[in-house]
A and B are shown apart, each in its own frame.
Chain A
């Protein structure tokens, strides 16, 4: 937490469902052009944080500020689709949510909905095939093609998304999110269900997105090899609160983190670590 160039600053975020406090006074920041990982055992409240940031839940309390070109945006005030449309925050889902009956290319075209909607003059110009609309459509296809090449699915462009292999679906979902041209990309367990080779390819893709598009990435992940390899900053959660934060190697050696993951209390964890070394 040294730099002040935060793309996202979450402050005292609280989310209650009835009597259950899923997220309690959580504060953390995500640096611009960096990969921030949010980790923690199952049920720690990671996905709830994601749902708050991406507008699927309205937080009970706290603020989430997104630094954009036009100033700060208070994400807690925007809801639903506006987070993606106005704040340029894109997300993927823990259990892949593609449009299975549409082709790979169509999936990427749907992601460019807002741009295309404007270009089609809210449908009316597009209905009559005005040249400016045709040009915009061509650009959108080119943009989609660019991402198809990036994820290596160019040859499958005209196949149904539901027919793709699991790993390809994961990458397509990331490409679809990137087609909305986000400033912040939130990935909910992108490596879940991938084999070692696919995880490595995913790490490479995410690093290249950060380097080439300059997109900041916020990531929930259980696959520690991916987290340790690519993240610049790690936030650890347990029972809805932040228990540790720092560079990957710092977090890895933190007894509180190990205790949370092993389900043991802190003293035991320290004992285990000491006996190890």
Chain B
């Protein structure tokens, strides 16, 4: 909009431009007057005997309208001063090109930094804890990315697989006393089976319909967990879930503990660092597998499915198994992350698996740029880390965070990393502009 209005006034003489600004400001002020006359202008309250009392606050109303009027003029002047190209001018082309070029070094740098986090922040438990949390969401994001980003199947119930993974581990570990490393694959496989079970009924659904059914599926799993008291403990959850061991050595203070065996003093941070490296390894395996899969026929079929399902069928691709494998693979990673979540917390309850989690993971994938591994990692860091960063703002935290997201989506509508890297090339791999890449419709 900004682009249109400013370029239109560029050709007109200056006084016409001033008239335009004034007109716009007056219009904004009028809208503000209508809106705020009831919201600010009249204050109502219940009186001492329950009757309605009200009084007018015209001075406050006048101030608000004046702020809107002046603000509108200032915004328009600033926009004019910045030049005609509006939004893109906020980030100069040079910086954008620089970002694209440095993209190659961001991933290795980020990886090295992540590996060193426990060394650098060894004394800061808070940062380590946050790191573990961010990495859990990175892994979830990468898992969901297979379904949403690559195969283009909008899944709003991803948390279901996270829950299945977490409860599988918790139940197997507390009932049969199996160790984390045995339960991890079981949790993954069970989640993956649920992925296939969800996949079957939704095969024919696309777009919004698919989103609704997956949303319902996520809720069903949560409600079953809440109500199946005898198995899952209902709303009370499952507690005292065993912690992971290092080749059978627990990271506990006792004589058989890790610290005692090494002959060093016990420190609870050891376990945190251990958890950090477990989730880092799990996330990196997820990433490696996804990158490999993209270059394999199945991954290419996922992306082709996102681009055009009808054309896939005409080329002899079994779209049913292709969709199911996408759901199963995404769910597998979700299940792994769930098992890790259970072992990290030591306690799980249905409250951890609400729709909010699905929405958060989906937001990470969308914000990162659907299909981009690095983008998803950066988005998880921004969403989880950034949210913590604004903790100091207290009640304004959500406001600031929401505004940051809106601005980001205006600046980069297709996510932090919107372009797509080809999986195979003859001479040179060119990034493909996001304008051409489809989002998928089911």
By a beta-carbon cutoff of 8 Å, the part of chain A in contact with chain B is 54-56, 80-85, 90-91, 93, 97-103, 105-106, 109-114, 116-117, 120, 123, 126-127, 129, 137, 141, 145, 154, 157-160, 162-163, 176-177, 180
In the assembled complex, 23 residue pairs joining A and B whose CB atoms fall closer than 8 Å, in A order, are: A56-B310, A81-B314, A81-B319, A84-B315, A90-B314, A93-B314, A97-B314, A101-B438, A105-B425, A106-B424, A109-B297, A110-B300, A110-B312, A113-B304, A113-B316, A116-B297, A123-B296, A141-B424, A141-B426, A154-B426, A157-B427, A177-B314, A177-B315
Give the distance in Å from the alpha carbon of A105 to the alpha carbon of B425 in the complex: 7
Contact B318 A81 (CB under 8 A): yes
User: Residues of B contacting A102 with CB < 8 Å?
Assistant: 300, 303-304, 307, 422, 432
Residues 257-273 of chain B: 1 if any A CB is under 8 Å from the residue's CB, otherwise 0?
00000000000000000
In the bound complex, do residue B314 and residue A54 qualify as a contact, i.e. CB atoms below 8 Å apart? Answer: yes
Chain A residues with CB under 8 Å of B308's CB are: 97-99
Once the chains are docked, how many angstroms separate the CA of A112 from the CA of B301? 10
Contacts of B437 in A (CB 8 A): 100-101
For A100, list chain B residues within 8 Å (CB).
307, 436-438
CA A207 to CA B191, docked complex, whole Å: 53
A91–B422 CB distance below 8 A = no
Bound CA–CA A127/B308 (angstroms): 25
Are A85's CB and B304's CB within 8 A? no
A50 to chain B, nearest CB (A): 11
Residue in A82, A83, A100, A120 with the greatest tally of chain B CB atoms within 10 Å:
A100
Q: In the bound complex, how far is the Cα of B296 from the Cα of A160, in angstroms?
A: 19
Q: Which residues of B contact A81 (CB under 8 A)?
A: 312-319
Contact (A127, B317) CB under 8 Å given A97-B311, A98-B311, A158-B430: no
Inter-chain contact B422/A103, CB cutoff 8 Å? yes
Is the CB–CB distance between B430 and A99 below 8 Å?
no
The answer, among B310, B317, B420, B424, for a CB contact under 8 Å with A113, is B317
The residues of B that contact A101 with a CB separation of less than 8 Å are 303, 306-307, 420, 432, 436-438
The residues of B that contact A103 with a CB separation of less than 8 Å are: 422, 424-425, 430, 432
A110 x B301 contact (CB < 8 A): yes
> Which of chain A's residues have a CB closer than 8 A to the CB of B432?
101-103, 160
Q: Are B289 and A127 in contact (CB under 8 A)?
A: yes
Task: Judge if B12 is at the interface, Cβ distance under 8 Å.
Answer: no
A85 touching B316, Cβ below 8 Å: yes
Within 8 A of A (CB), among B414-438: 420, 422-430, 432-433, 436-438
Across-interface contacts of A97 in B (CB, < 8 A): 308, 310-311, 314
Asked if residues B304 and A110 are in contact (CB atoms below 8 Å), the reply is: yes
**Chain A CB within 8 A of B125 CB:** no
> How far, in angstroms, from A13 to B107 measured CA to CA in the complex?
58
- Nearest CB on B from A94, distance (A): 12
| Given A101-B306, A127-B293: 6 more A-B contacts, CB < 8 Å | A81-B312, A102-B422, A103-B430, A105-B425, A106-B303, A177-B314
Residue pair A158, B318 in contact (C-beta under 8 Å): no
B292 within 8 A of A: yes
Looking at the complex, which one of B298, B314, B316, B427 makes contact with A158 (CB distance below 8 Å)? B427
Residues of B within 8 A of A141 (CB): 424, 426
Closest-by-CB residue of B relative to A141 is B424
Expressed in whole angstroms, the minimum distance between the Cβ of A95 and any Cβ of chain B is 11
Give Cα A82–Cα B321 distance, bound, in whole angstroms: 13
Query: Least Cβ distance of B83 to chain A in Å?
Result: 29
Q: Decide: A158 and B297 in contact? CB cutoff 8 A.
A: no
Size range of the chain B interface in the assembly:
35 or more
Q: Nearest residue in A to B306 (C-beta to C-beta)?
A: A101
Does A93 contact B296, Cβ atoms closer than 8 Å? no
Which of the residues B422, B426, B428, B436 comes within 8 Å of A162, measured between beta carbons? B436
A105, A129, A160: the one within 8 Å of B426 (CB) = A105
Q: Is the CB of A120 within 8 A of B296?
A: yes
CA distance A127 to B297 in the complex (A): 11
Report Cα–Cα, A113/B423, bound state, in Å. 14
A110–B315 CB distance below 8 A: yes
CB distance from A145 to the nearest CB of B (A): 7
Kindly report which residue of chain A lies nearest to residue B428, judged by CB atoms.
A158
From residue A120, how far is it (CB to closest CB) to chain B in Å?
5
Q: Is the CB of A158 within 8 A of B429?
A: yes
Tell me the smallest distance from the CB of B187 to a CB of chain A, in Å: 21
Given known A84-B315, A127-B289, A160-B432, contact A109–B425 (CB-CB < 8 A): no
Whether A157 contacts B426 in the complex (CB less than 8 A), given A99-B303, A123-B293, comes out as yes
* Candidates A99, A117, A137; contact of B311 at CB < 8 Å: A99
Q: B74-112 interface mask toward A, CB cutoff 8 Å, 1 = contact, 0 = none? A: 000000000000000000000000000000000000000
Cβ contacts under 8 Å, A91 to chain B: 314
Contact B307 A99, beta carbon cutoff 8 Å: yes
Q: Which residues of A contact B313 (CB under 8 A)?
A: 55-56, 80-81, 84
Given known pairs A120-B296, A127-B293, A158-B427, the reply for A113 and B314 (CB within 8 Å) is: no
Bound form: Cα–Cα A102–B306 in Å: 11
Shortest Cβ distance from residue A30 to the other chain B in the assembled complex, whole angstroms: 18
A120 touches B297 (CB 8 A): yes
Q: How far is the CA of A105 from the CA of B422 in the complex (A)?
A: 9
Give the residues in chain A near B307, CB-CB below 8 Å: 98-102
Most A CB contacts (10 A, CB to CB) among B289, B298, B312, B315 go to B315
- Closest residue of chain B to A107 (Cβ to Cβ) is B304
* A5-B308 Cα distance, complex, nearest whole Å: 35
Collect the chain A residues with CB atoms within 8 Å of residue B304's CB. Answer: 99, 102, 110, 113
Interface string of B385-427 (1 = CB under 8 A from A): 0000000000000000000000000000000000010111111
- Collect the chain B residues with CB atoms within 8 Å of residue A112's CB: 297
Q: Which residues of A contact B436 (CB under 8 A)?
A: 100-101, 160, 162-163
B287 to chain A, nearest CB (A): 14
Which residues of chain A have C-beta atoms less than 8 A from B315's C-beta?
81, 84, 90, 110-111, 113, 176-177, 180
Contacts of B319 in A (CB 8 A): 80-81
Chain A residue at smallest Cβ distance from B289: A127
Closest to B296 in A: A126
B340 to chain A, nearest CB (A): 22
Against A, the Cβ 8 Å flags (1 = close, 0 = not) of B157-189 are 000000000000000000000000000000000
Q: Which residue of B lies closest to A92 (CB)?
A: B314
Q: Which residue of B lies closest to A100 (CB)?
A: B436
Measured in the bound complex, the distance between the Cα atoms of B317 and A176 in whole Å is: 13
Report A160 CB to chain B, min CB distance, Å. Answer: 4
Q: How far is the CB of B280 from chain A (nearest CB, A)?
A: 21
How far does the Cβ of A9 sit from chain B's closest Cβ, in whole Å?
22
Of the candidates A81, A129, A145, the one having the most CB atoms from chain B within 10 angstroms of its own CB is A81
